[in-house]
Chain A
Amino acid sequence: MKTYLLKRLLSAIPVLFIVSTIVFLILQMTPGDPALVILGQEATLEEVEDLRQQLKLDRPIYEQYFNWLFNALQGDLGESYFMNDSVMEAIISHLGPTISLGILAEIIAITLAIPLGILAARRKGTMTDQSVMAFSLLGMSIPNFLLSLFLILVFSVFWRLLPVAGYKPLSAGLWEHLKYLLLPAFALGTAHAALIARMTRSAMLEVLNANYIKTARAKGVKEKWVIYKHALRNAFLPILTVIGQSFLGLMGGTAIVETIFAIPGIGQLIVNGVMRRDYAVVQGAVLYVTFAFVFINLAIDMLYGIVNPQVRLDSKK
Chain B
Amino acid sequence: MNKDPILNVKELSTSFKTERGVVTAVDGVSFDLSKGEILGVVGESGCGKSATAQSILRLYDEKQTIHKGEVWFEGQELLGMRPSEMDKVRGNHISMIFQDPLSSLNPVFTIGNQIAEAILIHKKVSKREAYARVLELLRLTGIPAPEKRVNEYPHELSGGMRQRVMIAMALACESKVMIADEPTTALDVTIQAQIMSMIVELNQKLDMGVILITHDLGVVAEVCTRVVVMYLGQVVEEADVKSLFTRPLHPYTQGLMKSIPQLDCERSKPLHVIEGTVPSLHHIPEGCRFAPRCPFADDLCRSKMPPLEQYGSGQKARCWHAETISEKGEAIRA
Which residues of A approach B to under 8 Å, CB–CB? 210-212, 214-223, 230, 233-234, 307-310, 313
- Inter-chain CA distance A217–B106, complex, in Å, is 12
Asked whether A219 lies within 8 Å of B169 as measured between CB atoms, the reply is yes
Asked whether A218 lies within 8 Å of B90 as measured between CB atoms, the reply is yes
Asked whether B105 lies within 8 Å of A212 as measured between CB atoms, the reply is yes
B103 within 8 A of partner (CB): yes
The total of Cβ contacts below 8 Å across the A-B interface reads 73
Stretch at the interface among B93-101, B252-260, B267-275: B93-101
Residues of A near B92 (CB, < 8 A) are: 220
Residues of B near A310 (CB, < 8 A) are: 107, 153, 155
- Which of B88, B105, B166 is in CB contact (< 8 Å) with A220? B88
- Which of A216, A219, A308 is in CB contact (< 8 Å) with B108? A308
B59 within 8 A of partner (CB): yes
**How far apart are B75's CB and chain A's nearest CB, in angstroms?**
19
The verdict on A215 contacting B104 (CB below 8 Å), with A221-B121, A310-B155 known, is: yes
Asked whether A222 lies within 8 Å of B155 as measured between CB atoms, the reply is no
Looking at chain A's contact residues, the main secondary structure is helix
Asked whether B98 lies within 8 Å of A214 as measured between CB atoms, the reply is yes
Name which residue of chain B comes closest to A212, CB basis: B106
- Inter-chain CA distance A215–B109, complex, in Å, is 13
26 contacts between A and B (CB under 8 A): A210-B103, A214-B98, A214-B104, A215-B98, A215-B169, A216-B106, A217-B59, A218-B57, A218-B90, A218-B95, A218-B96, A218-B98, A219-B90, A219-B95, A220-B87, A222-B84, A222-B87, A222-B121, A223-B83, A223-B87, A230-B106, A233-B108, A234-B107, A307-B108, A308-B108, A309-B108
- Inter-chain CA distance A160–B57, complex, in Å, is 57
Asked whether B156 lies within 8 Å of A313 as measured between CB atoms, the reply is yes
**How far apart are B40's CB and chain A's nearest CB, in angstroms?**
20
- Inter-chain CA distance A233–B153, complex, in Å, is 14
Given A220-B122, A221-B87, 9 new contacts (CB under 8 A): A214-B59, A215-B106, A217-B57, A220-B90, A220-B92, A222-B121, A310-B155, A313-B153, A313-B156
- Inter-chain CA distance A125–B59, complex, in Å, is 20
Residues of A near B109 (CB, < 8 A) are: 233
**How far apart are A308's CB and chain B's nearest CB, in angstroms?**
7
B147 within 8 A of partner (CB): no
Residues of B near A221 (CB, < 8 A) are: 87, 91, 117, 121
- Which interface class (under 10, 10 to 19, 20 to 34, 35 or more) fits B? 20 to 34
B118 within 8 A of partner (CB): yes
Q: Which of A210, A233, A307, A309 has the most CB of B within 10 A?
A: A309
B89 within 8 A of partner (CB): yes
- Inter-chain CA distance A143–B59, complex, in Å, is 44
- Inter-chain CA distance A262–B107, complex, in Å, is 48
Name which residue of chain A comes closest to B119, CB basis: A219
Which residues of B approach A to under 8 Å, CB–CB? 54, 57, 59, 83-84, 87-92, 95-96, 98, 100, 103-109, 117-118, 121-122, 153, 155-156, 166, 169
- Inter-chain CA distance A230–B114, complex, in Å, is 10
Residues of A near B105 (CB, < 8 A) are: 212, 215
Name which residue of chain B comes closest to A237, CB basis: B108
The verdict on A234 contacting B59 (CB below 8 Å), with A219-B91, A219-B95 known, is: no
Name which residue of chain B comes closest to A215, CB basis: B104
Name which residue of chain A comes closest to B84, CB basis: A222
Asked whether B156 lies within 8 Å of A218 as measured between CB atoms, the reply is no
The verdict on A211 contacting B103 (CB below 8 Å), with A218-B91, A220-B91, A234-B108 known, is: yes
- Inter-chain CA distance A241–B124, complex, in Å, is 38
User: Top 5 A-B pairs ranked by shortest CB distance?
Assistant: A220-B91, A219-B91, A220-B90, A211-B103, A212-B106
- Which of A212, A223, A309 is in CB contact (< 8 Å) with B153? A309
Asked whether A212 lies within 8 Å of B104 as measured between CB atoms, the reply is yes
Asked whether A217 lies within 8 Å of B153 as measured between CB atoms, the reply is no
- Which of A211, A222, A223, A313 is in CB contact (< 8 Å) with B98? A211
Asked whether A215 lies within 8 Å of B107 as measured between CB atoms, the reply is no
Name which residue of chain B comes closest to A210, CB basis: B103
Asked whether B90 lies within 8 Å of A217 as measured between CB atoms, the reply is yes
Residues of A near B83 (CB, < 8 A) are: 223
Residues of A near B169 (CB, < 8 A) are: 215, 219
- Inter-chain CA distance A310–B107, complex, in Å, is 8
- Which of A215, A220, A230, A233 is in CB contact (< 8 Å) with B89? A220
Residues of B near A212 (CB, < 8 A) are: 103-107
- Inter-chain CA distance A247–B167, complex, in Å, is 44
Residues of B near A230 (CB, < 8 A) are: 106
- Inter-chain CA distance A307–B91, complex, in Å, is 27
- Inter-chain CA distance A52–B118, complex, in Å, is 76
**How far apart are A79's CB and chain B's nearest CB, in angstroms?**
52
Name which residue of chain B comes closest to A314, CB basis: B155
- Inter-chain CA distance A313–B157, complex, in Å, is 13
Name which residue of chain B comes closest to A208, CB basis: B61
